[in-house]
Structure 1
């Protein structure tokens, strides 16, 4: 099992609400993370499409997985906090929705800042798409990461 698979397995257990809603982390690499959520009655709204809150949870989980992939070697020595999130709902979301998240900046530069200053802030961009590849929402999550004492 690769280190990325190990972190995917751990993250899948660490966020109870994401697990409760049914978010599945599909892949974590140093460059990106992908997660998906299947539509079912528990995550639908009144028009039988994906609830806005479910899409938010999916995007936030993907952003955290992207952070974890980029900071893999530091994960046991930091405290990450999602400090701000902004989401735009573009189209009605139906069926399986996939979130793809990427850190906006160069991860090695961010890690260098973390090592030097002890903390770092950065944005993760997330695209949420349906099974046909239509983008149904976009999201940006600002992460604040601090070294543990």
Structure 2
């Protein structure tokens, strides 16, 4: 699996600095470094940056669980934030909850450098036929 090619297929992920560490249908892992231009009040990493990481890593997971020739589009996404991030790197791990003919559901956990849960995202993706 060419990780750089997977990220390159999502220009916004490239622009925001997301990197993939591993990608397989059963689990996709990626990360995003804290940087001052990705923050909000109090130097905390912006929720939108965290959600972009989760959406991108989750989308790769959904893509890897599609039938041949199909594509996907997010239909819903729900995020629960549990703590702020003011330094280091956040790592997202996405796993499929369901991979069916018409939908793929993915849960993505984002953790900080100390392994603490930062956010959990559950997303549904429509399976778009070939």
Aligned mates of 1:65, 1:26 — CA distance in 2: 12
Question: Is 1:100 aligned with 2:93?
Answer: yes
Secondary structure of the structure 2 residue equivalent to 1:67? helix
2:28 aligned with 1:33: yes
CA distance in 1, matches of 2:25, 2:129: 20
Count of aligned positions: 129
- Structure 1: where are the runs of 5+ without partners? 115-119
- Runs (4+) of structure 1 exceeding 2 A deviation are 68-71
Query: Contact 2:63/2:71 (CA < 8 Å) preserved in 1?
Result: no
Deviations along 1:13-68, one digit per CA (max 9) or x if unpaired, are 11111111111111101201011000011111121121000000000011011112
Q: Runs of 5+ in structure 2 lacking a partner?
A: none
Distance in 2 separating the partners of 1:40 and 1:85 = 25
Question: Computing the radius of gyration over CA atoms, which structure comes out larger, 1 or 2?
Answer: 1
Structure with more of its chain in helix, by fraction: 1
Higher-strand-fraction structure: 2
TM-score (norm 1): 0.81
Of 76, 80, 88, the match for 1:88: 80
1:140 corresponds to: 122
> Which of the numbers 42, 45, 48 marks the counterpart of 1:53?
48
> What TM-score results when the alignment is normalised by the length of structure 2?
0.92
Task: Measure, in 2, the Cα distance between the counterparts of 1:12 and 1:127.
Answer: 19
Secondary structure, in 3 states, of the residue corresponding to 2:41? coil
Separation in 2 of the partners of 1:79 and 1:122? 11
Alpha-carbon distance in 2 for matches of 1:79, 1:104:
18
**Structure 1 residue 15 and structure 2 residue 40: aligned?**
no
